[in-house]
Amino acid sequence: MATAAFILISYAIGSLPFAVIVSRALGLPDPRSYGSGNPGATNVLRTGRKLAALLTLLGDGGKGWLAVFLAARYAADYGVSGTGLAACAVAVTLGHAFPVFLRFRGGKGVATAGGAILAIDVWLGLAALGTWVLVALVSRYASLASIAAAASAPVYAYFMSSRASRPETLAALTLMAALIVWRHKKNILNLAAGKERRIGNKEAQA
């Protein structure tokens, strides 16, 4: 029962649509009404409001971190296992991708998954972030950088000597990576067709 409660709470935290919340607070259009329609920081950036995009990014990443941090902090007190804790990381990412507050039409989960990974292991999170930055700088494709970072996380974790290398955590990281890759399916098709826009182009896919 406790494990189910932690997973449900993690999903609810992940469902908080910071792109919509920040946009409304700053008097900006609903991010689902323009660009890619994706309620995420990249799409919010299309308004030209860097502060709004930054706040969205921090909110989305922060909720991923918070959900896993709370689970890790209190799980032992309620008898929640490592598998339950790993499930919370998946749940918060699913919450962002399929938020109950937006009729299950959410973002791609990159920032939220990144926050969750940071809470699992700081070094793992930094390694995934470094991968994103490197691929983004070389290719100038945000989508490709996101896919590479997500796919690299379970690989990095496998070689680490921390809770990140536990079987249940590796399974969770793999599921999160698969979700992120699947959510980028349209971007992958655009990349293959040479139609994906690069970072800095206002028409870029979020």
Q: What are the residue ranges spanned by the domains of the chain? A: 2-193
Q: Which two tokens stand for residue 180?
A: 């992120």
What is the structure's pLDDT at 76?
Answer: 76
Give 206's DSSP letter.
-
Sequence-separated (6 or more) residues with CB below 8 Å from residue 61: 111, 112, 114, 115, 118
What is the structure's pLDDT at 202?
Answer: 53
Q: Each residue's pLDDT tens digit in the chain (206 positions)?
A: 788 999 999 999 999 999 999 999 999 999 998 888 889 998 898 888 999 999 999 999 999 999 999 999 988 788 888 899 999 999 999 999 999 999 999 999 999 999 999 999 999 999 999 999 999 999 999 999 999 999 999 999 999 978 788 999 999 999 999 999 999 999 999 999 998 888 876 554 43
What is the structure's pLDDT at 204?
Answer: 40
Q: Which two tokens stand for residue 36?
A: 């890619």
Amino acid (one-letter) located at 63 = K
Any idea which residue has 């918060």 for tokens? 92
Within 10 A of 167 (CB to CB), how many other CB atoms are there?
10
For the full predicted model, state whether its pTM sits above 0.85: yes
Give 28's DSSP letter.
P
| Contact between residue 139 and residue 146 where contact means Cβ atoms under 8 Å apart | no
What is the structure's pLDDT at 205?
Answer: 40
Q: How far is CA 170 from the centre of its chain?
A: 16
